Structure 1
Amino acid sequence: MKTIKNKTYRFKAAGINLTVLCIVALLSGSCKKYLDIVPDNVATIDNAFTLRNEAEKFLFTCYSYLPKDGNPLYNAGYMTGDEVWTSLEEREFIAYGWRAARGGQNAAEPYMDAWNGRYSGGGPGDNYGLYKAIRNCNIFIENVQDLSKVPDLTIDERQRWLAEVKFLKAYYNFYLMRMYGPIPIVDKNLEISAPEGEVRIKRQPFDNCVDYAVNLIDEALPNLPTIITDRTTELGRITKPIALAVKAKLLLMAASPLFNGNPDYADFKDKDGVNLFNPAYDQSKWQKAADAAKAAIDASEAAGFKLYQFPGTTFKLSDTTLRQLTIKGAVTERFGLNLEHVWANPNSRTFELQRFAMPRLTADVVVGSARQQLAPPIKIAEMFYSRNGVPITEDKTLDFTNRYSLRTATKSERFYIKEGFTTARINFDREPRFYADLGFDGGIWYKYDSPTNSDEGTFVLEAKSTDIAGANNFGWYNETGYFIKKVVDWNMINGKNGATYREYPWPEIRLADIYLMYAEALNETLAAPNADVFNYVNRIRTRAGLPSVQDSWTNFSTNPTKYLSKDGMREIIQRERMIELAFEGSRYWDILRWKRASELMNQPITGWSVYQSTTADYYRVRTIFSQNFVAPRDYLWPIRTYDITINPNLVQNPGW
């Protein structure tokens, strides 16, 4: 790593009174990758912005702080809630988010600390703090907006780069707000001579933080491209649809119950008595969110984005399997073929995610190459709809009362469950997303290397303790009996020397997400849901092979008029989000902003008795862990105690 020196700043950060070199402490490895600046060993800010090539390296450094959401160890929402569990052994899988989910979060050394970058995936000393990212964005903006610098940079490119970095700065602020609520706003870096009082900055009221980030995005929008034309070198760079989608996500968060008139925060004030949350509910925030989401949809569709459909294959496959490949492909299909990925991050790849999720399907696969450690609890399996498109507790034509009892699969069910295999009732008569997203004992797992070149006589997951995918390898086993199929690309190949995974860039935002954001926000602006609300939810249901909301509830639900009321449709939309975006790191943030975490994360984590070898013994529900979500404390991340000690103007989040 080259040392960058010459000009120093005082870090006007949220709690740490530091004098720092202006680009020291970039991401590990990113200096070598992005800031290989000449002349050797004397890199300075002036050198970084003398030529276009060097400035571009700094631009990519600003990008390099984007969280690695394609890796469950780095994705702050993936293991932190109640959606994915794993084994206590944590064999080569140290998930700090999961430690927080088990009650280990603390203020002394917070887990997944995006504020400082500590314990954020790779270890205690990770260097992914987003205030470092913001500092580097400020350095870039300060220098590139100076027309006397980077003289070989064209005006159009200069404006585009500045727009990209303004967006990144807004996104990093949004990410911090989602975790901590009100944050300090670091609009410009302070010089080393700045008075101590200026350095010890305070947290700003939450609405001010939202306005600040929205304004940055609005400033960026005119100079961002609509689409990426140079797909060879620029895929993943920020576009108008991306910026509009993040703006919508930010405003939806701000309109949601956790942050909009939450009485739990009515007395949350800074040291000067300023309210950090507006205690009054503001209905107009939902309209802003709806307008922003519709603008994101319009821009995305105008740019050619649409819901993914599997393009087909030369293999002979049933419509059942083709539907599953469509559902999975919405996440796993790569650039070029997948027009649903409004924002995919090519710097966040998914090899580890797939290896952590993949079960062993044949004895040829080396144990460590398919580790099967990501395990959804039974309640997540129960969350998916029946094949009629309604919750299993509401379906009046299918009886799930004894859903843990046993049943044997018939020939007509062979593309979901092996014919003649006995498994739990809960695994039958479910919607296509259940079978596309989840693997389970007796479930079909079709892949490209199917021994029959079709979905007849293909792979079957067998998960009892003495089976190939059973709990018989220390730390590399599935704790609940449910496996995450959704995130494993169908091109994964078993091999005698291991397994081959086709990586894909992590989809930060899919078009389906924006559709559901719009439906949710629009529903909240109305006295009762209208055709537009139904339309955008039904687009996703149609792709998933389900009837419309109206048809499903009218014909199959014990509550047939549920969808006609605002409250009932809210519940439907929330469940639709939890199903459609399952295992993408969305559920945790959603149930927080909905203020439902105290309900959903105070339920026991249960699974099958995976250490048993017989059918009768395996299909006994066992309690794995009793979660304890403390409200309102656990709705916001703690600020590290050290930061508050260093900066007495900071106040800690309630309960910490």
Structure 2
Amino acid sequence: MALNDNKMKNITINKIKDSVKDILITLCFVSAICTMSACKKYLDIVPDNVATIDNAFTMRTEAEKYLFTCYSFLPKDGDPFYNVGLLSGDELWVPTQEWDFVSYAWRGARGGQNAANPYMNAWNGNYQGGGPGDNYGLWKGIRNCNIFLENVKDESKVRDLRPDERARWIAEVTFLKAYYHYYLLRMYGPIPLVDQNIDISAPEDDVRIKRKPFDECVAYISGLIDESTTNLPPIITDRTTELGRITRPIALAVKAKLLLLAASPLFNGNQDYANFKDRDGVNLIPSAYSAAKWKSAADAAKIAIDAAEQAGAALYKFPGSTFKLSDTTNLQLTLRSSITERWNIEHVWANPNTRADMLQRVAMPKLASGGASGDARMQLAAPLKIAEMFYSSNGVPINEDKVLNFSNRYSLRTAVDKERFYVKVGYETARVNFDREPRFYAALGFDGGVWYKYDSPSNSDENTWVVEGKYTQLAGATHVGFYNETGYYIKKLVDWNMTNSTNGVSYRDYPWPQIRLADLYLMYAEALNESQGPVNDVFEYVDRIRKRAGLAGVVESWNSFSNNPNKPTTKDGLREIIHQERGIELAFEGSRYWDMKRWKKAGEVFNQAITGWSVFQANTLDYYRVRTIYTQNFVAPRDYLAPIRNYDITVNPKLVQNPGW
């Protein structure tokens, strides 16, 4: 745990020297001011002058700075360099040159994770987006939350703070404290629980705390969230100055995620951890399966859904524009803008701690000549297996569709007029790019694929932008480092308002959608299926998402088009459908990595080859040859939990390392 000393009496654990006389616990108070900008802008965390505890809680204005210091540790998931889930698994791949794109998550995906100096180290804050010493370790965030709570709960301090504000601020920071514990739990498994900071004069034995059993961690975090919900607002009423602050639906959604994690196979009946114990012989992860955990997860998800919908949340629908657009393109913009439209009604939690500007640049292919190579870097690439994951246009997996034949999916086919809103008419591309569901075309760009955006040359979706991705073409792999490794570009993450002009490019950034209502729907469906099987509510909530995506319901689609029509009638079959639905709906949002781990599927899927088209070829036939780019090596069960840095194990002998590390 990373800590520093700045004349503070209370601290959380950091580096503990072996000598009792020389226990050195350091504490650093990083003061940051969070300015609330105008409506539809963000909670900006800006470094302020370093403050001390002596004056941080003397008046409201100073205490507010410390409040937003607590917020400043929220994950920067809108930044491709910091989002653990985006590049740690198999969903996205980038060029090997790492040209202006050093991703420690991706280095981990290629087998580079280690216990000496772990990548994406949320425990200490090292090797995240900026390299060693990023200084955003979550134990530091928890420490700051504890300092805030200790002082603001003392009504003799911050005397000019209104009682209702005091209650709300305490609730917000209580939630943040819970969330930082949850984030660590998801990454490392059982963790220490730091409810109060430890006094600098505490005995060595009190300072060296140990990891608590997983279920105890879940109960503690859940209790903190319950404590916070009473005084959190259901909605943000002051949208001019408070967008980005925590609400009751956010807290309830995170509790649902926590309980879903606890119910999932990784932590529920996993015999791989039967011998995972602390130094006193206490089991850290239960090896016995509990069906009751799935019911708790389902109940929590439904409560979160109800709270979100009562607060006005709904699946997003594109309202239309002044341009004349087809129904096909309007649906595409609905699906794309459910991510990129700022503060839209589907965003249960929009996290403004990072803005999705760089994310869009590294996703965007070059569609127009001119401009700098860094304007559209097209480095984020989806492996071929991810492109194949999306359904056919009949709403079933391509290997199950009994009407459409995808057995020859790597052969070539030429687009015709009825396909013009998806593929350029007369363009020859792979058969796998035809007859796919709307989310395929909303999420992915590809050679010959239409990419409609605001500055369409025709002011409509006819004769608009098209990706041309072969070697000698505009979006081809001609720039060292700034190219797409697989031939599949990530359209979903780029706001449709992106424009090219003679003065360069313009991206409209947006707060990262940490939790969408669609995610909650699928969480509820998953947990309910596990606890009760294929009951009506499971289909109801999955079908809401499918309907928004232009697809028929699960039962209708499988009955009409699948060669396995009975699949939705069993718990196992419906589980597989829900898992694939989550993969499609939440693609490129950082969810797949965590889902594959909690389902205990990572040992299988993260050991499959990363493949794509032969992007360094100019000829069509040569380009559409499947190329193996990399073969991953996920070591199970070791890689299911991140390593704690060896140094932390050394200085705190009560800590035990995760299995295999």
TM-score, with length taken from structure 1: 0.96
Aligned partner of 1:9 in structure 2 is: 10
2:638 maps to 1:633: yes
Contact 1:375–1:483 (CA<8 Å) still a contact in 2?
Answer: yes
- Cα 1:15–1:363 shift into 2, 3 Å: farther
For 1:491, the aligned partner's letter is N
* Mapped partners of 1:26, 1:114: distance in 2: 20
* Mapped partners of 1:232, 1:214: distance in 2: 31
Percent sequence identity is 67
Residue of 406, 418, 421 corresponding to 2:424: 418
Q: Secondary structure at the match of 1:348?
A: strand
Aligned partner of 2:542 in structure 1 is: 537
Aligned partner of 1:476 in structure 2 is: 482
Aligned partner of 2:612 in structure 1 is: 607
2:511 maps to 1:510: no
Q: Secondary structure at the match of 1:423?
A: strand
Aligned partner of 2:587 in structure 1 is: 582
Aligned partner of 2:349 in structure 1 is: 343
For 2:535, the aligned partner's letter is N
Residues 156-204 of structure 1, C-alpha deviation per residue, up to 9 Å, x if partnerless? 1111100000000000000000100000111111111100001111000
User: RMSD in angstroms over aligned alpha carbons?
Assistant: 1.7
Residues 59-105 of structure 1, C-alpha deviation per residue, up to 9 Å, x if partnerless? 00000000100011100111000000000110111000000000000
2:122 maps to 1:114: yes
Aligned partner of 2:314 in structure 1 is: 306
Q: Which runs of 5+ in 2 are unaligned?
A: 36-43
* Mapped partners of 2:590, 2:187: distance in 1: 14
Aligned partner of 2:69 in structure 1 is: 61
Contact 2:75–2:82 (CA<8 Å) still a contact in 1?
Answer: yes
TM-superposed CA distance for 1:333, in Å, is 0.3
* Mapped partners of 1:35, 1:491: distance in 2: 31
Aligned partner of 2:41 in structure 1 is: none
* Mapped partners of 1:278, 1:627: distance in 2: 29
2:383 maps to 1:377: yes
Contact 1:8–1:19 (CA<8 Å) still a contact in 2?
Answer: no
Aligned partner of 1:251 in structure 2 is: 259
Aligned partner of 1:326 in structure 2 is: 334
* Mapped partners of 1:529, 1:567: distance in 2: 9
State how 1:25-64 maps to structure 2 within 5 Å: 25=30, 36=48, 43-64=51-72
Contact 1:9–1:21 (CA<8 Å) still a contact in 2?
Answer: no
2:625 maps to 1:620: yes
For 1:638, the aligned partner's letter is P
TM-superposed CA distance for 1:5, in Å, is 4.2
* Mapped partners of 1:94, 1:244: distance in 2: 35
Q: Which runs of 5+ in 1 are unaligned?
A: none
2:242 maps to 1:234: yes
Contact 2:15–2:651 (CA<8 Å) still a contact in 1?
Answer: no
Aligned partner of 1:88 in structure 2 is: 96
* Mapped partners of 1:26, 1:621: distance in 2: 52
- Cα 1:92–1:54 shift into 2, 3 Å: same
* Mapped partners of 1:35, 1:510: distance in 2: 30
2:179 maps to 1:205: no
Aligned partner of 2:198 in structure 1 is: 190
Aligned partner of 1:430 in structure 2 is: 436
2:655 maps to 1:650: yes
Residues 17-47 of structure 1, C-alpha deviation per residue, up to 9 Å, x if partnerless? 87456543568999x966746xxx7x42120
2:520 maps to 1:519: no
For 2:181, the aligned partner's letter is N
* Mapped partners of 1:29, 1:340: distance in 2: 25
* Mapped partners of 2:254, 2:45: distance in 1: 27
TM-superposed CA distance for 1:15, in Å, is 7.4
Q: Secondary structure at the match of 1:628?
A: coil
TM-superposed CA distance for 1:624, in Å, is 0.2
- Cα 1:14–1:600 shift into 2, 3 Å: farther
Aligned partner of 2:305 in structure 1 is: 297
* Mapped partners of 1:367, 1:173: distance in 2: 41
* Mapped partners of 1:13, 1:305: distance in 2: 41
* Mapped partners of 1:19, 1:99: distance in 2: 33
Residue of 91, 98, 105 corresponding to 2:106: 98
Contact 2:525–2:541 (CA<8 Å) still a contact in 1?
Answer: yes
TM-superposed CA distance for 1:367, in Å, is 1.2
Residues 463-509 of structure 1, C-alpha deviation per residue, up to 9 Å, x if partnerless? 00000100000100000000000000000001233210000100000
For 1:553, the aligned partner's letter is W
Aligned partner of 2:413 in structure 1 is: 407
TM-superposed CA distance for 1:16, in Å, is 8.0
Q: Secondary structure at the match of 1:486?
A: helix
Contact 1:59–1:161 (CA<8 Å) still a contact in 2?
Answer: yes
Residues 214-273 of structure 1, C-alpha deviation per residue, up to 9 Å, x if partnerless? 000000010000000110111010001000000000000000000111000011000000
* Mapped partners of 1:26, 1:53: distance in 2: 13
Aligned partner of 2:78 in structure 1 is: 70
Contact 2:351–2:511 (CA<8 Å) still a contact in 1?
Answer: yes
Q: Secondary structure at the match of 1:346?
A: strand
Residues 419-463 of structure 1, C-alpha deviation per residue, up to 9 Å, x if partnerless? 000000000000000000000000000000000000000001000
* Mapped partners of 1:377, 1:459: distance in 2: 23
Contact 1:14–1:183 (CA<8 Å) still a contact in 2?
Answer: no
Aligned partner of 1:595 in structure 2 is: 600
For 1:645, the aligned partner's letter is T
* Mapped partners of 1:112, 1:549: distance in 2: 38
Contact 2:638–2:658 (CA<8 Å) still a contact in 1?
Answer: yes
* Mapped partners of 1:29, 1:304: distance in 2: 26
Residue of 560, 563, 570 corresponding to 1:565: 570
* Mapped partners of 2:188, 2:143: distance in 1: 18
For 2:208, the aligned partner's letter is R
For 1:443, the aligned partner's letter is G
Residue of 451, 459, 467 corresponding to 1:453: 459
* Mapped partners of 1:15, 1:233: distance in 2: 41
2:293 maps to 1:288: no
